[in-house]
Amino acid sequence: MEGHKYEDVESIKNFLLAKTTYRPTVGVICGSGLGGLVKNITDPYSIDYKDIPNFPVSTVAGHAGKLVFGKLSGKIVVCLQGRFHFYEGHSMHKCSLPVRVMASLGIKSIVVTNAAGGVNRNFKVGDIMVIKDHIGFPLMAGINPLIGLNDDRFGPRFPSMTNVYDPDFQKKAIEISKKLGYGDFTQNGVYCMLSGPNYESQAELKLVQTVGGDAVGMSTVPEVVVAKHMGLRVLGISLVTNYCIMDYGTDEAPNHAEVLEVGKQRSECILNIVTHFIEGLE
């Protein structure tokens, strides 16, 4: 299995740098229903994924499929409006390629958002969870974006995942959320990734709960692992869009329409947190 080739990443980077005068310092990845984050970007320059050579294409409802450059809170940002998932048939390397590209464009920090199911029984639909740590089941089973030859120009062969979500960033995001009046529905917890695309069975959710997962989703972890490998500081935010059903004898079931609806209702809050957070970055 081949890892990312430095020359391929450089060629995408050079293509993008030739298209725009923007030189971003912050990256943002928008999760399901959270693409509205880009509406605060001023003087945007956007390019469709399909027009970027060797870039993957997003196929999921709620993911626009554009790379957007511009200004946000006085900083130059690059925003992935719609991400790539392993369940779409992309390899883990392909899913995380945009993070390699964003890092090679010169970003130092990345904000990663996602829609997730609430496993923690104290979480409610609509809660915002600042991610403290993650569990990546597919990665633990050997489906990892760092598998293959390592190029030291990207990062070390054996990168540490201690404090993968920057503790200072977590603290700042939680403080901002409280100041904005969102304290009652802001949580701090562990995001657990399963591959999807099916939602989890009751027994799988109980396993996630047992190993310490607070929220569960189908993305984020491969991107964050690559971000850490490239030396980026990471802030992760999950929006709890559905309540995970663990009891038997119920006909309730999660669905993607519900996920997008909650995303619409609360995305404004996440947008405000991210905008203030980026403003405070050095």
Annotated catalytic residue within 85, 90, 93, 229 = 85
φ/ψ of residue 128, rounded to 5: -110, 125
In the annotation, is 134 catalytic? no
The alpha-carbon radius of gyration of the chain (Å, integer) is 18
Distance CA 29, CA 110 (A): 8
pLDDT value at 27 more than 80: yes
Catalytic (active site) residue 88: yes
What gap in Å lies between CA 30 and CA 270, rounded to an integer? Answer: 10
Instruction: Name the fold adopted by 6-279.
Output: Rossmann fold (3.40.50)
Q: Is 230 a catalytic residue?
A: no
| Per-residue pLDDT tens over the stretch 163-191 | 999 999 999 999 999 999 999 999 999 99
Instruction: Please give the single-letter amino acid code of residue 226.
Output: V
pLDDT digit string, tens, across residues 240-262: 988 888 888 887 777 777 767 77
Structure tokens given for 247: 């009891």
Examine the residue annotation and report whether 200 is marked as an active-site residue of this protein. Answer: no
Q: Which helix (H) or strand (E) holds 186?
A: strand 186-193
The answer to whether the bond into 159 is cis (omega within 30° of 0) is no
Tell me whether residue 115 is one of the annotated catalytic residues: yes
* Active-site annotation holder among 104, 219, 238, 267: 219
**Residue 268 is a catalytic residue:** no
Query: What is the SS3 assignment for 52?
Result: coil
Which is catalytic among the residues 4, 49, 58, 63?
63
For the chain, the structural domain boundaries read: 6-279
